[in-house]
């Protein structure tokens, strides 16, 4: 039985990945800063809370990481941890950089120190690319991040590449574009939109406040994206991959779709606010996921309209 350690198991991707690996017969461990008090509601929602073995681990503490890897002795490590909000990274840049870049470095150095045949997956982000001038980004596109979050993810990406080349570690990064699900918290704009549309549809009188409706993104379905993570670690050699649908939509389209699925006209319920604009933002996010299709056999089945439909249906089933 293979053993996997998921760092960041309390989040959306961690929960779906744990579910996938359990279905594949893995023994699944989850690392969290304080496993005694952390909220594992997403694992509970998927019905797998009791099937995951949890370990208290601070990724910014090298000794803590080394102890966890020594005790668990995993075959695979999935690094999904770290501050995950682009907007919040402008308010907490130090926390963002430490949790992502230092956390990743501690994992890499611990694996090197232990000289164990551990395969490492690192969650990178399309935020590393910044604006690509309407060009679809692939694995060879230069990084020009426009947020502290993107800068931290870029640093972690190059750490992984360096350890792979310098020490022959099986370490790779998935450069994931936006991917959503009902497990997203409302601090992410996609779930904020879906939740508000459903509340209004069920009688709420609120106005939804949003920032830049002109932003364009590639939105996918999170349960599919964790399949790509798994596939990356099943390859003969470690390589980095762009994971996306290859289809870009405007945030305005996302809003319209969500309210339409809830039986509403979004223009009656949405207001824009300059206070919600980021200091710098990516105008257009566009991806070329051809390598993942060709080498991993992975291709997204759902794009933004289907993703929104599934999120709205799930939210309405929960009572708005």
pLDDT value at residue 320:
58
- Indicate which residue of 76, 127, 159, 257 is catalytic: 127
87 Cβ contact list (under 8 Å, min separation 6): 187, 278
pLDDT value at residue 275:
84
What are the phi and psi torsion angles at 37 (to 5°)? Answer: -115, -10
Can you list the residues of the chain whose pLDDT is less than 70? Answer: 320
Architecture of domain 184-217+247-286+294-317: Alpha-Beta Complex (3.90)
- Indicate which residue of 26, 29, 149, 177 is catalytic: 149
Domain range summary for the chain, segments of one domain joined by +? 3-179+222-243, 184-217+247-286+294-317
Q: Is 127 a catalytic residue?
A: yes
pLDDT tens sequence across 141-150: 999 999 999 9
Are residues 28 and 2 in contact, defined by beta-carbon separation less than 8 angstroms? Answer: no
Q: How far is residue 308's CA from residue 57's CA, in Å, rounded to a whole number? A: 34
Q: How far is residue 240's CA from residue 243's CA, in Å, rounded to a whole number? A: 10
- Indicate which residue of 64, 99, 110, 125 is catalytic: 125
309 Cβ contact list (under 8 Å, min separation 6): 257, 261
User: What global pTM score does this model have?
Assistant: 0.95
Architecture of domain 3-179+222-243: 3-Layer(aba) Sandwich (3.40)
Q: Which helix (H) or strand (E) holds 152?
A: helix 148-167
């Amino acid at each position: 039985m293979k053993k996997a350690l998921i760092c960041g198991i309390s989040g959306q991707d961690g929960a779906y990945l744990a579910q996938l690996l359990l279905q594949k017969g893995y023994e699944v461990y989850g690392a969290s800063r304080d496993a005694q008090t952390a909220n594992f509601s997403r694992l509970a929602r998927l019905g797998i809370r009791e099937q995951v073995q949890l370990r208290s681990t601070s990724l910014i503490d090298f000794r803590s990481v080394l102890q966890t890897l020594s005790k668990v002795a995993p075959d695979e490590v999935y690094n999904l941890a770290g501050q995950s909000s682009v907007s919040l990274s402008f308010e907490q840049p130090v926390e963002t950089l430490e949790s992502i870049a230092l956390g990743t470095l501690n994992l890499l150095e611990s694996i090197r120190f232990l000289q164990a045949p551990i395969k490492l997956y690192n969650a990178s982000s399309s935020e590393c690319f910044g604006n690509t001038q309407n060009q679809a980004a692939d694995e060879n596109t230069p990084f020009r991040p426009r947020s502290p979050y993107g800068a931290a993810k870029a640093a972690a990406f190059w750490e992984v590449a360096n350890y792979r080349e310098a020490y022959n570690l099986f370490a790779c990064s998935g450069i994931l574009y936006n991917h959503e699900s009902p497990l997203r918290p409302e601090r992410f704009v996609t779930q904020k939109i879906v939740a508000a549309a459903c509340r209004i549809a069920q009688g709420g009188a609120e106005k939804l406040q949003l920032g830049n409706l002109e932003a364009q993104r590639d939105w996918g379905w999170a349960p599919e994206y964790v399949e790509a993570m798994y596939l990356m670690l099943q390859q003969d050699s470690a390589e980095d991959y762009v994971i996306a649908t290859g289809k870009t939509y405007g945030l305005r389209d996302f809003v319209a779709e969500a309210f339409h699925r809830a039986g509403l006209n979004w223009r009656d319920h949405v207001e824009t606010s300059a206070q919600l604009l980021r200091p710098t933002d990516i105008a257009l996010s566009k991806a070329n996921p051809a390598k993942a299709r060709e080498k991993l056999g992975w291709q997204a089945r759902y794009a933004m309209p289907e993703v929104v439909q599934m999120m709205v249906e799930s939210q309405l089933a929960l009572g708005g």
